[in-house]
Amino acid sequence: MIGNELKPRIGLFGRRNVGKSSLVNYLTGQQIAIVSDTAGTTTDPVRKSMEIGGIGPVVLVDTAGIDDEGTLGAQRVEKSMAALAEVDLALLLYTEWGEPEERVVRWCTEHSTPLLRIRSKVDTPDFPNHPDHPDFRLTTSDPSLREGLIEAIRKAMPESAYHKRTLLGDVVHQGETVVLVTPIDSSAPEGRMILPQVQVLRDLMDLHAVAVFCQPEELEVESGKWKVESPRLVITDSQAFERVAAVVPEEVPLTSFSVVLARQKGLFEEYLEGTRMIGDLKDGDRVLLLESCTHNVTCEDIGRVKLPAALKKATGKSLQCEVIGGQSPLPKDLSQYALVIQCGGCVITAQQVKARLLPALEVGVPVSNYGLALAWCGGIFDRATKIFKQ
């Protein structure tokens, strides 16, 4: 099962009362979105799941009108435009064309986001005759148009949004053994594994590889007694990097769950380049840490405790480390930061990771990843990335 966070996202954008919520009901075949003649019924992005043949499960993101007015209306418009960053495909509904629609088109063009223009409510007698050429003409009162619209969505959706790149398929093969070192401390969820560990395990199962789990202390005891000549790879939690590296022989490739996920989510080359900039940090520099999930903070928290401490120790500098959790808005001025470090991103899509990091890259701020940054701080950055450069 794919959680909502990892499904491809289709955003519905348009003016108030243009029919966005009606389109959600039309596509899903259910009355799940509130529809009203009152302008501004949808005030915040609302997410609904559905299945599209040939793509799989997707999330529809229904947004507030891009022509809203007043102080609160401006905030709703800002949220709707911000939602563009998280979608893999934008559907722009319109009955008239003007600056609000042009604003969406400009954003999609600048950010290479696929856009499907839908001329809505074509059955209404006062529908204006525009010279533009929409990708699709629609009235939600005609059910016969549904399959044609879904086919148009299928064609417009980039395959990269739903054909997930394997995590380890280019470095691990059928029958090879991978040792997964998974520390259990106060930050570990009760009675279950964290999502990156589950995702890596599933990928290894799909590859028909052999996965061996242990904690660092078992690895230290059994390091010289593995039942195979040598594992193809050892993957550890970032917080145990140094401890595990001291035990695993140099000839055995070693990396972390966070580094593995960083490759799948994209911007890996930017991560590699940005991580090397840690050595250039100066006293007083501000470092922004982006933690995509929300969880209870503990004394062993990686983003808020261990990584800031490791950065300060490795650089010998007095750094100002700030953390933004979940999908909270980024600071308006990212140029004030010397470095932005993103977590593994296990609970968000590749599109969302890029949307969080591209604003920093656009103003010349280097970016890194939790696992890569911890590997650099521990002096094993080259070793942790070597297997992915072969």
Q: Does 247 lie in the same domain as 286?
A: no
pLDDT of residue 319: 96
Going by C-alpha positions, the residue among 62, 122, 55, 59 that lies closest to residue 95 is 122
Domain extent for 53: 4-161
My answer on whether 203 and 249 are in the same domain is: yes
pLDDT confidence of residue 2: 46
Q: What is the pLDDT of residue 215?
A: 86
Residues 340, 287 share a domain: yes
Would residue 127 count as lying in a domain?
yes
Contact of 358 with 352, CB cutoff 8 Å: no
Number of domains in the chain: 3
Q: How does pLDDT run along the chain (390 residues), one tens digit per residue?
A: 344 456 889 999 999 989 898 899 899 887 765 555 555 555 557 788 889 988 888 999 999 999 988 888 888 898 889 889 889 999 999 988 899 999 999 999 988 899 999 998 877 655 555 556 678 988 888 999 999 999 999 999 988 777 777 889 999 999 999 999 988 765 555 666 778 888 899 999 999 999 998 888 887 655 555 444 678 999 998 878 888 888 888 889 999 998 998 888 878 999 999 999 999 999 999 999 998 876 555 546 777 888 999 999 999 999 999 999 887 888 999 999 999 999 888 778 888 888 889 999 999 999 999 999 999 999 999 999 999 986
Residues 155 and 303 in one domain: no
How many Å is the Cα radius of gyration of the chain? 24
DSSP per residue over 294-354, as a string? -----TT-IIIIIHHHHHHHHH-S--EEEEEETTPPPPS-GGG-SEEEE---TTS-HHHHH
Which pLDDT value is given to residue 39?
52
Q: How many CB atoms lie within 10 A of CB 300?
A: 14
The whole-number pLDDT of residue 299 equals: 47
Would you state the pLDDT for residue 33?
54
For residues 63 and 148, state if they share a domain. yes
User: Residues for the chain: how many in total?
Assistant: 390
CA 233, 238, 242, 243 dihedral sign is: negative
Residue appearing with tokens 């590997």: 375
Which of 130, 161, 192 lies at the terminal end of a domain, its last residue?
Answer: 161
Neighbours of 284 (CB within 10 A): 10
Do 8 and 139 lie in a common domain?
yes
Q: What is the CATH number of the domain that holds 11?
A: 3.40.50.300
HSE-up of residue 29 (Cα within 13 Å, Cβ side): 9
pTM here?
0.73
Output the pLDDT for position 325.
84
Token representation of residue 183: 């520390």
